């Protein structure tokens, strides 16, 4: 894809976020855009990062985009070619314990923490770092069996345990929304993630004070997520175009 096209698509995403924020009476600066780079090669991601930098240089007033990768294999293939642009990479897919070291060479946040075992391993792995690792608890708000994440019922207790682990900073909660054409269903799921977050913040438990983030909403439904309080929306196709069919 042409760099020009990526720039226009990215600008359109920022516009959608700004419109949704205006409708919800929110400040557009409170919502970050994360580019979900799955299946995209380094050249495509570079084009998007350059478009983002150019827009900001021209006065867009938007924060730098974040990058997300679902699979460590792809992160490791893409990230080394983009170090000159110093992007912030987030892991947004299930993370196997044998891939933690590789992931943490590149990623500054793991949004897909859905059980104690992964949280413990991450905590042990970063124990001797000076800066904490940002982690997000992934919640399956729709209950769809194919989706990763802990249940909304179990999420608050898990989050409190994660927040107490050394070396980790609980930054918030992440979900992949319901696959539904009914906006009410989608929004109800996002509202559920917000209630989980609010319950954890209200608990006052150690390490939970920073857990204000809500990573929710994708290309097709970011408006619904922003309406329910998203602080990060994760977009792929809206910026990169359709992904090649899996082989």
Ligand X SMILES: *Cc1c(COP(=O)(O)O)cnc(C)c1O
Alpha carbon distance 20, 231 (integer Å): 12
What x-and-dash track marks residues 160-179 binding ligand X by CB under 6 A? ----------------x---
Stretch that binds ligand X, among 97-105, 122-130, 212-220, 224-232 (CB under 6 A): 212-220
What is the DSSP annotation of 24-61?
HT--GGG-EEEEE-TT--HHHHHHHHHHHHHHHHTT--
Interface with ligand X, residue 236, by CB under 6 A = yes
Q: Is 63 exposed, middle or buried (0-12, 13-18, 19+ CB in 10 A)?
A: middle
Q: Is 39 in the site for ligand X (CB under 6 A)?
A: no
Stretch that binds ligand X, among 44-52, 83-91, 98-106, 213-221 (CB under 6 A): 213-221
Which positions from 58 to 77 touch ligand X by CB under 6 A, shown as an x/- string? ------------x-------
Minimum distance from residue 106 beta carbon to ligand X (Å): 17
Count of residues engaged in binding ligand X, rule: CB under 6 A: 13
Nearest CA-CA partner of 32 in 240, 233, 239:
233
64, 132, 167, 220: which one binds ligand X (CB under 6 A): 220
Rounded Cα–Cα distance for residues 164 and 171 (Å) = 12
CB of 138 to ligand X, least distance (A): 9
Distances (CA, A) of 220 to 77, 173, 176, 239: 27, 20, 12, 12
Indicate the Cα dihedral angle 13, 18, 21, 26, nearest 10°.
Answer: 130
Decide whether 64 or 220 has the Cβ nearer to ligand X.
Answer: 220
Contact (Cβ atoms closer than 8 angstroms) between residue 183 and residue 218: no
Alpha-carbon distance 243 to 44, whole Å? 12
Residue 92 near ligand X by CB under 6 A? yes
Nearest approach, Cβ of residue 241 and ligand X (Å):
10
- Residue with smaller CB distance to ligand X, 62 or 175: 175
Lookup: tokens for 191? 């509202």
Residue closer to ligand X, measured from CB, 38 or 99: 38
Question: Contact residues for ligand X (CB under 6 A)?
Answer: 36, 38, 70, 92, 176, 218-220, 234-238
């Amino acid at each position: 894809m042409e760099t020009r096209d990526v720039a226009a698509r990215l600008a359109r995403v920022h516009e959608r976020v700004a419109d949704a924020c205006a409708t919800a009476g929110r400040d557009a600066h409170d919502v970050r855009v994360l580019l979900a780079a799955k299946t995209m090669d380094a050249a495509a991601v570079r084009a998007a990062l350059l478009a983002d930098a150019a827009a900001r240089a021209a006065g867009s007033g938007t924060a730098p985009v974040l990058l997300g990768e679902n699979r460590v294999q792809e992160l490791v293939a893409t990230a080394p070619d983009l170090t000159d642009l110093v992007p912030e990479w987030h892991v947004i897919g299930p993370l196997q314990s044998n891939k933690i070291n590789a992931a943490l060479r590149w990623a500054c946040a793991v949004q897909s923490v859905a059980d104690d075992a992964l949280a413990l391993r991450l905590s042990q792995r970063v124990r001797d770092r000076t800066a904490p690792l940002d982690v997000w608890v992934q919640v399956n708000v729709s209950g769809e069996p194919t989706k990763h994440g802990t249940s909304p019922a179990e999420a608050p207790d898990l989050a409190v345990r994660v927040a107490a682990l050394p070396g980790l900073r609980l930054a918030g909660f992440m979900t992949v929304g319901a696959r539904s054409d009914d906006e009410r269903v989608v929004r109800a799921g996002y509202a559920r993630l917000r209630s989980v977050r609010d319950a954890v913040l209200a608990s006052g438990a150690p390490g939970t004070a920073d857990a204000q983030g809500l990573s929710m909403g994708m290309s097709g439904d970011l408006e619904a997520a922003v309406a329910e309080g998203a602080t990060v929306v994760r977009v792929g196709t809206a910026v990169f175009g359709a992904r090649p069919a899996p082989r």
